[in-house]
Amino acid sequence: MTTLLDLKSSVLRQVQRSQSLRTRREAPPAASSPLTHCPPEPLPRDHDDDVSVAEACKKLNEVSGLRGMGYFKQIAKSVRSNGSASSGSEENVDDFLGCINISLNEIPVAGYDTWFKLEPRSSASKVQGECHLILKVFTSQRDTTLSKRDTNVSIHKKLLSQIVEYEHAQVKQREPYNWNGQVSPPAWTVLTHHAVQTDLSPLQQAIRWQCYSNHHRNQRLCYSLLLRLLRTIDAEWDPPTVRGDLLSDSFRLYTEHCLCLMKNMRQVFPCTSAAAITRYELMLGIGYMQNMRAFKTVCPLRNELHLDITTAVKKGTSEWYESLIAQYKPEEGSLEEQLKKMVQVIDAVCADVQRGQNIYNKLFYAVKVDYFSISYRQLEKQVADDVNVAMERVCGTLEQESSRLTQTMGETIFELFMSLKILKGFREFLPLRDAKMLALTGFHNWFKSSIHKFLQIVHDRSCDRIRKAVETDQLQPVQQAKHSCSAVEVTACFSQVREIWLQLSWPDSAGAFIFVTRLTDNFCNEAVCYSEMMTRKIERNQLARDHKNFTVQLCIGLNNVEHVRVFLAHLPRDLDWPGVERAMEESCGAEGKEQVYKALSGQLFNMDLDLQREAKRLITVLTDKMQPELRRYIQHISLSPDSINNDDAVSPLMKYLQDTMVILTANLVKENLTVLQSMWELLLRMILDAVTENRGVQVEFYNRFQYTVETLLQFFHVKGDGLALEDMKSGDYKVLDEELKLNKCSSFDLIEQYYLEKISLQKTLKHTPYGRISVKCYYDPPEQRLTVEILHAADIIALDANLSDPFVIVELCPHHLFPAAKSQRTQVKLKTLHPVFDELFYHVSPEQYRHRYACLTFTVMDYDWLSTNDFAGEAVAPLSDFCWPGRPNASAAGKNVQPVILHLSRSKPKPIMRMLDARTGDREAQEFVRRLKEIEKSMEED
């Protein structure tokens, strides 16, 4: 099959035989494909050089797919809306030329008339149809005005432009951006032969670039086509062949148009369209132009392209922001409406910055432009200027006495602050050198006074919510929890305020300290207020409920308070106290850190004390309600006859406690089991009162209560799941245990216990207001006697007109242990507070010195001539310290031992005195108490 090139050669050889064209220069060889369309594969050459014109046209039509008039008729048929032209009609050509918007005068002559000037060989030739008509048209226009006025380049450009517009129009409605510049085979044939016949092959790529780039300014076009054309120009660049003015204007116009599109990129290439972003990425291939040899040659003075792109991006960003302001009009309306509109503006800016950072910025890598930094800095500056002006108006309004920050206004200000914070947060994507000095660096200072007022509104609102929550609370547990809905509402309020603070994330350390202190104070006040309201609510309900229902409600109330207390225990973490402390330490040193710690921890500590107080108040309500029943059961134990078994006497009390314990353990959280401690202490006090009221009774009475205490101890301990034994065996337990043990003792045992307590007390004395006495005690084995030297006394209290007449009574105690020992006394030293005695006293019976309660008593008295002597003070010294046989200093050398300083006191173990006093039938007990009462009477008279 003959190829198109072979056909063309055959036709040209016939044309050369023509007399009119034999002297013309032979046409140059065909150029490469002008567009993306490639010519058909070569066909076998026809060796018949004398092929007829009709056969050549027929074969040409077969190759190119033409019928009838050929290419022109084919296009005319494709665009006409009615009918088909008759073969060989001259009007059909006019129709086609009208369709492609070109007149007969603009038809390029050179090349086409050469190709189609085919003389018929005879009148009977079959080529007198379409080809003869084309011959007539082209030969008649050889010497037209157009061929004289316009150059071949201009003609080729016009022809190519018309064809491009026509071809693009065929696909524009379906896929305007996907047209890659491909034209139909006939159009390609016409353009190729015109370029060949007019010697335009070296300029053909430049002309194509001019036409397509110019077409791009008016129509949507695939940018990959333009990039391929640029690469082709760069690959085939030949400066001597291509004039600079042929490309310089097209380069300039194309660049300006692309920069204009970049300026309006948000509208032209919206990021919501993936196809638009792809086109934009291809368009940014304009950066390739700057490195082209052709561009550097024809545009030597052109600015660097990335600078032009930077200017376009900055200007486009500024214009977009101005359009945003014009859309929302934040300067109109009330102050609150203005701030709301400003929030909308900033949110739109944040969205644009986000899109720029995620999408657009990546596209600009190809042209070496940091799109995000340019657009962000431009927008951040404009937003800062507008918000600064708006906040100045807000501060000025709030400073007026009659002005008050409303809740909606405060929420709007907070929303504006958060929008600015989000916008400022994008600075982390900037280079470090660009992130230091930004207009929004200290924007939080614009909101300081407003945020203070806003936090007060938040506090007031939280208090209202808490009050309503308590009023509507039915004191029913929430699902699986043991607290009620009001506790949930309170912690929800706290959580919301905490989130507000976390969102604020105040950067200034001093300002953060003030805010954190205020928030902590608000939290503590709200928690204490809630606990007080809860306590009052339960107190009002106690009369309208039975014991069980009231106990359940009280447990829920305790759990509510505990739930809030546990939540607030995390305040140091939630409000980032350590961060505030570090910031203050950096700015103010260690003193600043200590100030923060004391202020914040002090608030939390006081709040915890207040909550514990309210919890104890609720527990007291419960124990007070239980007191009548508990007192009745304790009285039952007290009045039970000795014939009743201890278990039977105690069982009513234990059953009541067991029923109460079931309610408490089922409804209380573990942290609130301290209510058991209160019940335990209440029972101890009741038993102690019962024992105190029944002194001097039989020992079985005290044994029964001893058994009761031990039973209660095991009951509240619950084998380790209840109260700890070390906590239970303290305070009143020790007093009651001692009371029971002492009441079970004999009178002599109580007297001995009395002196043991006196000895124990003496060892703890360091300094008293009653003075001191210096003595020396030692045992002499040869003589088997105890020697006591009373040396002197000092700082004795004045009992007679600022002076005293002191003397000392020395006794071996207790008297029932030393029945033969007599009390001894020193001489009276008149009118002195620092008497010197230097007197010796002797005692015997060393076998009795080993008792730990055996002691020497030194009683300092003030001699009175007219009445009884006055008691000044006393001291005791245990004999076991220095005088039993076998001790190293128990020898004659004991005279050289160092004196002992004993501090005087006037205290008496009164519980033992009361026990002995209650034993009215015991002579020894009554005699001992009588002597002690005389001393007490003397002290009372002083």
Do 198 and 341 belong together in one domain?
no
CA dihedral (323, 326, 328, 334) positive or negative = positive
pLDDT at residue number 43: 30
pLDDT at residue number 847: 65
pLDDT digits (tens, 9 = 90+) for 96-111: 444 444 433 344 433 3
**pLDDT mean over 302-309:** 80
Residue among 161, 84, 93 nearest 130 (CA): 93
The Cα 785–Cα 622 span in angstroms is: 64
pLDDT digits (tens, 9 = 90+) for 544-567: 667 788 889 899 999 999 999 999
Mean pLDDT (the chain) is: 78
Do 602 and 528 belong together in one domain?
yes
Do 757 and 857 belong together in one domain?
yes
Looking at residue 679, which CATH number applies to its domain? 1.20.58
Do 287 and 420 belong together in one domain?
no
Do 515 and 562 belong together in one domain?
yes
Residue 830 lies in a domain: yes
Looking at mean pLDDT, say which of 27-36, 53-62, 573-582 comes out highest.
Answer: 573-582
Residue pair 260/316 in contact by the 8 Å Cβ criterion: no
pLDDT at residue number 632: 93
Looking at residue 833, which CATH number applies to its domain? 2.60.40.150
pLDDT at residue number 137: 35
Residue 76 lies in a domain: no
* Residues contacting 154, CB < 8 A, separation 6+: none
pLDDT digits (tens, 9 = 90+) for 438-448: 889 889 899 98
**pLDDT mean over 72-82:** 39
**pLDDT mean over 373-402:** 88
pLDDT at residue number 590: 85
**pLDDT mean over 86-91:** 38
Do 587 and 734 belong together in one domain?
no
Looking at mean pLDDT, say which of 245-254, 259-268, 699-708 comes out highest.
Answer: 259-268
pLDDT digits (tens, 9 = 90+) for 583-620: 888 888 888 888 888 888 999 999 999 999 998 998 88
Q: In terms of pLDDT, which residue wins out, 652 or 931?
A: 652
Residue 708 lies in a domain: yes
pLDDT at residue number 643: 82
Does residue 90 have a pLDDT over 60? no
Residue 839 lies in a domain: yes
Residue 365 CA neighbour count, 13 Å, CB half: 6
pLDDT at residue number 884: 59
Residue 347 lies in a domain: yes
- Quickly state the pLDDT bin for 527 (edges 50, 70, 90): very high
Provide the token pair at 347: 């949110």
pLDDT at residue number 857: 92
Residue 388 lies in a domain: yes
Does residue 895 have a pLDDT over 70? no
- Domain end call among 701, 720, 744: 744
pLDDT at residue number 753: 86
The answer to which of 41-45, 496-500, 624-628 has the lowest mean pLDDT is: 41-45
Do 479 and 459 belong together in one domain?
yes
pLDDT digits (tens, 9 = 90+) for 394-439: 888 887 756 778 888 989 999 999 999 999 999 888 887 666 678 8
C-alpha torsion angle, residues 729, 732, 737, 742 (rounded to 10): 150
pLDDT at residue number 183: 79
Provide the token pair at 67: 């019928």
- Domain end call among 691, 717, 744: 744
Residue 525 lies in a domain: yes
Looking at residue 600, which CATH number applies to its domain? 1.10.357.50
Residue 64 lies in a domain: no
Tell me, yes or no, if the pTM score tops 0.85: no
Do 822 and 751 belong together in one domain?
yes
- Domain end call among 724, 744, 764: 744
pLDDT at residue number 655: 93
pLDDT at residue number 153: 80
* Residues contacting 70, CB < 8 A, separation 6+: 57, 60, 61, 64, 130, 131, 134, 186
3-state SS of 500-537? HHHHHCCCCHHHHHHHHHHHHHHHHHHHHHHHHHHHHH
Do 706 and 844 belong together in one domain?
no
First CA to last CA across the chain, in angstroms?
150
pLDDT at residue number 101: 40
Q: In terms of pLDDT, which residue wins out, 384 or 749?
A: 384
pLDDT digits (tens, 9 = 90+) for 111-152: 333 333 333 333 333 333 333 333 333 333 334 444 444 578
Domain of 287, in residue numbers: 152-303
Q: How far is CA 874 from CA 248, 794, 796, 810, 889, in A?
A: 123, 13, 11, 10, 25
pLDDT at residue number 550: 87
pLDDT at residue number 3: 43
pLDDT at residue number 150: 59
The answer to which of 103-112, 321-330, 905-914 has the lowest mean pLDDT is: 103-112
Q: In terms of pLDDT, which residue wins out, 874 or 700?
A: 874
Does residue 866 have a pLDDT over 50? yes
Q: Name the DSSP letter for residue 792.
A: E
Do 520 and 547 belong together in one domain?
yes
The answer to which of 182-191, 511-520, 657-666, 717-726 has the lowest mean pLDDT is: 182-191
- Quickly state the pLDDT bin for 683 (edges 50, 70, 90): very high
pLDDT at residue number 385: 94
Do 227 and 280 belong together in one domain?
yes
Number of CB atoms found within 10 A of residue 850's CB: 12
- Domain count along the chain: 5
- Burial of 177 (C-beta count, 10 Å sphere; 0-12/13-18/19+): middle
Instruction: Give the phi and the psi of residue 843 in degrees, each rounded to 5.
Output: -140, 160
Q: Name the DSSP letter for residue 25.
A: P
Do 599 and 648 belong together in one domain?
no
Does residue 843 have a pLDDT over 50? yes
Does residue 912 have a pLDDT over 60? yes
